[in-house]
Structure 1
């Protein structure tokens, strides 16, 4: 499968990388000089974007002036070429003249055009505006807080990128069976709306007489919260099942105390809903046990149970603590990224036939322009020289930085 990607930021590049890691030939089209997101943080010490390098692994890159009619025509030629493996484009811009679905369909009737919009009507939106509009920031943060708290993870971008990939594969499957192409559209706002609906948040908001309030680090509807140990470390502990709950109470030496409390309140703490309703009382009892034990003691006790738990770590702590595990995990491989250096990076988390993909470096600006246009469109060196002189395409092969 060959996919032409005209995109930026998170969702559509994630779609392309997801498919590249499964074996698709993904051609990233960038304007001359590189895309606007090539400098996005986090960055290496020399300013190279770690974000861009990480989100565009394994793709090929061409550098074309998309503001010119000639450049857009060239990209259109690339999209509609490729025989049965081609004719697929992923984009987060539906306004590029000559590269919209209607125009491309006139050139190739079975074209698959996958488009990300911010809003269903084609309006603009980004992850953080969608967060604000859907109410999630009003549920994040400590109890009693009045303001909004954004999630630093671009949740809707990530989900939208995976929806784009699923939609593309479904459309390609349909084309394989029927010979028909189609446009696949995903709106970032719809992804958030669908997720809120699928998790029951929307139904609750419509049908409940009392709106959901902030719960701090408590797990909504179950028993889960953070605890501080005697040496000031923090753990997240979750007891979803009856077995989890019994073992947590037992390890803390509170079986009889909790049973007496249940009897006094006339409730059954083996019911998940009751554990949640009385989470403050139960959490207070358990907090005393954690506060009298060091992190090492708490971890040792919890390892002997089925209780779900993890120590809170920063990203730096995680990378340092898990250095050996990163090396031993088949998901991770060393990547030598030009402009960055060598570091451990993930392939696809999908295990296909017992194998996982090995991550490849992200491309340099225009790295494959000449080779792709020669191989896919049959252009000669003279043709490329004319295009380059007129500013339609960018960097020459001999101008690429040394890896």
Structure 2
């Protein structure tokens, strides 16, 4: 029996995205994957700078193909009053506005939250910035890397005594984007279920990072303990570390009490597995250097695959350090639709990440490839009631593209 097709979870939700680069657009991307109509306003000409970030194919970043799928591009010059007027007309009919400009930018365009709520009382305004819309640092320029440092993450991402390193991706931006998504969905629920009005969601990059820093602050508050960089280990949890094999590294998480016994039996160290003082985590933490040395001595005699096979047979959580090549070739990624083949508007197909989270009834989808600058300007403006003559005049004034 054919199941009836269910509408996308966010179908009917209209989102105006005025952000650029990572944080704001990742928020819009996530909403778009679950059915929201996302209209991206970007400057005529070059458009969002992300179009030119990292590796380019046919003149456009392949990153762009992921970040802007399911979006419409409307190219409007927001530096001009007529462009600002167009944006206000779009926002007046929207459910959500996303922006990640420096605080005060919207206000300078005559689009403060108060002014926008007069136009559209139910509007949800998500504002992502380096330090938030208030506080002594609000006007300082902030990027994800600075948020990661201020949020406490950079201090921990290093080998002891060595320079703090970045995670390798712009994790501060994406964490802020995901917190903005949570805020938007919460505000929409409040508006729908409780009859609440629109509201402003204020997300600071450093606060989004700080929010996932686990016990960092409580440990300092209670004990004066400052958690320090520990390389690949997880301080206070043992054993959990990266161990060198003959041809690479393996991560092993043997910190459960029963798991630890199985791990020690697998590496031929039942003496450690049966030791009374190692029966719980506190005892293992006290002897972590000895335990790590024993595991490392065993892994160094084996290849990565042989190590993983042995630990899998013993039901010990372990995994190799994946590269992009490993991900692309992994059958589990493919089986869970986490690698999708996405056509582009430049005529080629590229492998891109699938959609997270996975919903059983209203899963996310890729409905449209990433647009060129201004691909949808005319269609969106016609939908606002502008005539062909109006559009031609705006284009002649270089207010739109």
TM-score by length of 1: 0.87
After superposition, the Cα gap between the structure-2 partners of 1:252 and 1:8, relative to the gap in structure 1 and judged at 3 Å, is same
Q: Which moved more, 1:291-300 or 1:70-79?
A: 291-300
TM-superposed deviation, 1:179: 5.0
Partner of 1:115: 127
**1:102 aligned residue (89, 103, 114):** 114
**2:199 aligned residue (163, 178, 182):** 182
Partner of 2:279: 270
**1:41 aligned residue (35, 53, 56):** 53
Partner of 2:302: 293
Contact 1:50–1:340, Cα closer than 8 Å, also in 2? no
Contact 2:17–2:99, Cα closer than 8 Å, also in 1? yes
Q: Which moved more, 1:98-107 or 1:337-346?
A: 337-346
TM-superposed deviation, 1:343: 1.8
Aligned length: 377
Partner of 1:202: 217
**1:72 aligned residue (76, 80, 84):** 84
Contact 1:15–1:161, Cα closer than 8 Å, also in 2? yes
Matches within 5 A, 1:1-400: 1-81=13-93, 86-93=94-101, 94-96=104-106, 97-120=109-132, 121=134, 122-123=138-139, 124-145=141-162, 147-176=163-192, 177-178=194-195, 180-196=197-213, 199-222=214-237, 223-229=239-245, 231-259=246-274, 262=275, 267=277, 269-319=278-328, 321-322=329-330, 324-339=331-346, 341-354=348-361, 356-359=363-366, 360-375=368-383, 377-394=384-401
2-side partners of 1:291 and 1:340: how far apart? 47
After superposition, the Cα gap between the structure-2 partners of 1:46 and 1:116, relative to the gap in structure 1 and judged at 3 Å, is same
TM-superposed deviation, 1:105: 1.6
1-side partners of 2:161 and 2:392: how far apart? 65
Q: Which moved more, 1:172-181 or 1:38-47?
A: 38-47
Contact 1:21–1:347, Cα closer than 8 Å, also in 2? no
TM-score by length of 2: 0.88
Q: What is the aligned-residue RMSD (CA, Å)? A: 2.0
Q: Which moved more, 1:20-29 or 1:88-97?
A: 88-97
Contact 2:153–2:209, Cα closer than 8 Å, also in 1? no
Q: Where do 4+ consecutive residues of structure 1 move more than 6 Å?
A: none
SS at match of 2:200: strand
Q: Which structure carries more helix by proportion?
A: 1
Q: Which moved more, 1:154-163 or 1:38-47?
A: 38-47
Give the gaps of 5 or more residues in structure 1.
395-403
After superposition, the Cα gap between the structure-2 partners of 1:326 and 1:295, relative to the gap in structure 1 and judged at 3 Å, is closer
TM-superposed deviation, 1:103: 1.5
2-side partners of 1:340 and 1:208: how far apart? 59
